[in-house]
Amino acid sequence: MPQGQIFKAISGFYYVRTKEGEELECRARGVFKFEKKKVKPLVGDWVEVEKISEREGVVKAVLPRQTELLRPPIANVDQAIVVCSLKEPDFQQMPLDRFLVQAEKEGLDIVICLTKHDLVTDENEVEKICTVYEEAGYPVVITSVRTGHGIELLQAYLKDKVSVFAGQSGVGKSSLLNQLLPDLKLQTGEVSRKIGRGRHTTRQVELLLLPQGGQVADTPGFSQLSFQGMEIEELGACFPEISKKSISCRFRGCLHVNEPDCAVREAVESGKMNAERYQHYLQFLQEMKEQKRRY
């Protein structure tokens, strides 16, 4: 039975690109399971299909996933390109840190992409942002679609990988993809001056083939990521700098809140760890505790 990858899903139809290069419009029939769980096909899934005509088929089985994201809904991604704007809208650390936690939980490689560099008037702001995240262990690419700054470096990170582009609406994901794939002509949206963020211009997830090799997914912008399905004890491991320091904590399983001899808190107090990232960790921890109480 032919195998292929779902590259787009719209209104119950799954568009599958087979290993032979065919593109089939498919319906899904039956209940799909692996690891004793019912699953719904996602963009990025490898599937078995039965052809019923030259251009149509039926998804018969979903093959086991390597990775899975819920928001955006996509499977089998190698890396996340987390896109944040430096201006219009101004850089926001909180949503970036939320997505980083989700990507870390899924075991994805992560690249932070800062857009709209041409609008920056104070380079010190950019340096501060880069320092925070590079010290945490993340590569940071600074880009501008107007000047072309950073585009070649971003292409190097994308080569031969399946990458998901994700970030809040209006930060420039679609503009970046238009730069990488000029024939794509994705719709872009203006940023609302009143609310400081953009309107959603991407309506569905779609995997796009890159000319230099690899695939990228344009995804609807996200406004909030929850921590459902994640244990409180797992959160620290999703902050690389906290995970590294926690080895020196007095207690195994230290949550880095008020435990004695906590190496993480000591690093924050001595200025060796970013205080705002640590505060976000505490905020996420509290959200997770409240979530558990509700359920």
- 262 annotated among ligand-binding-site residues: yes
210: pLDDT strictly greater than 70: yes
- 115 annotated among ligand-binding-site residues: yes
- 130 annotated among ligand-binding-site residues: no
Of 80 and 185, the structure prediction assigns the larger pLDDT to: 80
107: pLDDT strictly greater than 50: yes
- 202 annotated among ligand-binding-site residues: no
- 226 annotated among ligand-binding-site residues: no
Please name each of the domains of the chain with its CATH number: 3-64 (2.40.50.140), 69-218 (3.40.50.300), 232-294 (1.10.40.50)
Average pLDDT of span 221-241: 81
Alpha helices in the chain (DSSP H): 93-105, 123-136, 151-158, 173-180, 240-246, 263-269, 275-294
213: pLDDT strictly greater than 60: yes
201: pLDDT strictly greater than 50: no
- 118 annotated among ligand-binding-site residues: yes
- pLDDT value of position 33: 77
Q: In angstroms, rounded to a whole number, what is the distance separating the alpha carbons of residues 81 and 60? A: 31
192: pLDDT strictly greater than 70: no
Q: In angstroms, rounded to a whole number, what is the distance separating the alpha carbons of residues 46 and 57? A: 14
**Mean pLDDT over all residues of the chain?**
88
- 117 annotated among ligand-binding-site residues: yes
Q: Report DSSP state, residue 79.
A: E
- 122 annotated among ligand-binding-site residues: no
Chain centroid, CA 7 distance in Å: 17
Cα–Cα separations (whole angstroms), residue 116 to 8, 147, 148, 176, 269: 28, 9, 10, 10, 33
- 249 annotated among ligand-binding-site residues: yes
84: pLDDT strictly greater than 80: yes
**What confidence tens digit (pLDDT) does each residue in 117-163 have?**
999 999 999 999 999 999 999 999 999 999 999 999 999 999 999 99
Q: How confident is the model at residue 206 (pLDDT cuts 50, 70, 90)?
A: confident
- 173 annotated among ligand-binding-site residues: yes
- 171 annotated among ligand-binding-site residues: yes
- 174 annotated among ligand-binding-site residues: yes
Longest dimension (CA), the chain: 67
- pLDDT value of position 195: 33
Closest CA to 110 of 139, 141, 88, 90: 139
- 170 annotated among ligand-binding-site residues: yes
- 254 annotated among ligand-binding-site residues: yes
**Single pTM value for the model:** 0.83
**Long-range contacts (CB closer than 8 Å, 24 or more residues apart) made by 148-152:** 148/179, 149/117, 149/118, 150/113, 150/117, 151/179, 151/180
- 147 annotated among ligand-binding-site residues: no
61: pLDDT strictly greater than 50: yes
295: pLDDT strictly greater than 50: yes
- 169 annotated among ligand-binding-site residues: yes
